[in-house]
């Protein structure tokens, strides 16, 4: 934990240096291009409001929240609209069942586990980037960075029900894209050959 | 006795069930369904694996050149 008690420029720089890897990694999960710009803008905003940071242990999460706010504002600025389907209209896709039915790794005794192991770090990023931002961001924040759904709703300035619906849709899309990506990129062939 | 839940509905609720984000009534329905449906138990195990897969996904490395630029940016604020 970085102590930022005196809220000086030097303590901000220490905090920033310690949190840069986590901030950059989160930014790379949220955007395809411009992760560095996203981190820079977050650092700028954070520095301006450094005095409002209440507790040292929360500093890392505080910086990440600011980065998500920057991301949200950028989405709004671009005003890209994505058709949002109600949960009831989301097509049911089960990766679990698809793997059982298609059995792409016939020599595997732990099919579902081995399927996931065929994905390298960059593959997972590519799969995530195939999802529209409004579905990708809640998924990343909830299941990769461990934010609570209520906190995600606050950061993205959306009703909790909307975030829950987007998480549901995002999970469905993520499962489908894992399957599609694995087929398109020959991951299953490599996995089947061991 | 609560109404029996169908597989499609149970699967739809599994992640929320793991997140403790379903109502007590739905929680009970999911548990009841899982008590007799082997396929949905498999779905539940896979949902846990997928969550673990995402949570344990390695962070991107911060390239030295990017790190240097961002540190300089923080210094110049």
| Cα A1 to Cα A109: distance, rounded to the nearest angstrom | 43
Q: How many domains does chain A have?
A: 2
| Cα A67 to Cα A24: distance, rounded to the nearest angstrom | 10
- On chain A, the residues whose CB falls within 8 A of the CB of B67 are 20
Within this chain, do residues A50 and A114 fall inside the same structural domain, yes or no?
A: no
End-to-end CA distance of chain B: 64
| Cα A20 to Cα B70: distance, rounded to the nearest angstrom | 8
Last residue of a domain, one of A78, A112, A137: A78
Last residue of a domain, one of A56, A78, A100: A78
SS3 content of chain A, % helix, strand, coil (to 5): 70, 0, 30
A84 versus B8: the higher-pLDDT residue is B8
- Is residue A45 domain-resident? yes
Query: Which residue range(s) make up the domain with A18?
Result: 9-78
Cα A100-A106-A111 angle, rounded to 5 deg: 50
**B11 reaches A (C-beta below 8 A):** yes
Which pLDDT belongs to residue A8?
Answer: 84
In this predicted structure, the answer to whether residue A38 has a pLDDT above a threshold of 60 is yes
Q: Which residues contact A186 (CB under 8 A, 6 or more apart)?
A: none
CB contact under 8 A, B43 and A168: no
Which pLDDT belongs to residue A84?
Answer: 63
- Is residue A103 domain-resident? yes
Within this chain, do residues A180 and A94 fall inside the same structural domain, yes or no?
A: yes
- Is residue B2 domain-resident? no
Q: How many domains does chain B have?
A: 1
Within this chain, do residues A102 and A150 fall inside the same structural domain, yes or no?
A: yes
CB contact under 8 A, B71 and A22: no
- Is residue A4 domain-resident? no
Which pLDDT belongs to residue B3?
Answer: 62
User: Nearest residue of B to residue A146 by CA position?
Assistant: B55
Cβ pair A17, B71 in contact under 8 A: yes
Within this chain, do residues A38 and A113 fall inside the same structural domain, yes or no?
A: no
User: Nearest residue of A to residue B64 by CA position?
Assistant: A21
Which of A4, A14, A24, A160 best tests the B interface by mutation, with the highest count of B CBs <10 A? A24
CATH number reported for the structural domain that contains residue A129 in this entry = 1.10.10.10
Last residue of a domain, one of A44, A78, A112: A78
CB contact under 8 A, B77 and A116: no
- pLDDT tens per residue, range A103-161: 999 889 999 999 999 999 899 999 999 999 999 999 999 999 999 999 999 999 999 99
Write a three-state SS string for A47-94: HHCHHHCCCHHHHHHHHHHHHHHHHHHHHHHHCCCCCCCCHHHCCCCC
CATH number reported for the structural domain that contains residue A69 in this entry = 1.10.1740.10
CB contact under 8 A, A40 and B73: yes
- Is residue B22 domain-resident? yes
Say if the ipTM goes beyond 0.90: no
Rg for chain A, CA atoms, rounded: 19
**A143 reaches B (C-beta below 8 A):** yes
Cβ pair A165, A80 in contact under 8 A: no
Query: In this complex, which of B46, B57, B70 lies closest to A112 when CB atoms are compared?
Result: B46
Query: Which residue range(s) make up the domain with B24?
Result: 7-75
Within this chain, do residues A95 and A73 fall inside the same structural domain, yes or no?
A: no
């Amino acid at each position: 934990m970085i102590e930022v008690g005196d809220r000086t420029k030097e303590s901000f720089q220490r905090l920033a240096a310690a949190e840069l890897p986590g901030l950059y990694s989160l930014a790379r999960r949220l955007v395809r291009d411009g992760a560095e710009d996203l981190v820079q803008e977050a650092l700028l905003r954070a520095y301006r409001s450094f005095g409002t940071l209440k507790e040292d242990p929360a500093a890392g999460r505080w910086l990440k929240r600011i980065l998500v706010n920057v991301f949200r504002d950028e989405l709004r600025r671009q005003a890209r609209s994505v058709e949002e389907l109600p949960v009831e209209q989301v097509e049911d896709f089960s990766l679990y069942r698809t793997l059982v039915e298609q059995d792409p790794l016939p020599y595997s005794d732990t099919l579902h586990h081995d399927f996931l192991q065929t994905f390298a770090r960059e593959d997972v990023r590519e799969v995530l980037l195939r999802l529209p931002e409004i579905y990708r961001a809640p998924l990343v924040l909830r299941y990769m960075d461990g934010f609570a759904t209520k906190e995600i709703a606050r950061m993205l300035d959306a009703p909790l029900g909307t975030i829950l619906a987007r998480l549901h849709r995002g999970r469905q899309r993520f499962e489908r894209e894992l399957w599609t990506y694995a087929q398109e990129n020959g991951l299953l062939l490599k996995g089947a050959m061991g | 006795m609560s109404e029996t839940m169908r597989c499609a509905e149970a699967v739809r609720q599994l992640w929320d069930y793991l997140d403790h984000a379903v109502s007590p009534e739905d929680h009970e329905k999911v548990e009841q369904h899982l008590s007799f449906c082997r396929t949905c138990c498999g779905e539940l195990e896979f949902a846990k694996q997928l969550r673990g897969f995402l949570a344990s996904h390695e962070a991107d490395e911060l390239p030295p050149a990017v790190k240097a630029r961002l540190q300089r940016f923080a210094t110049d604020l």
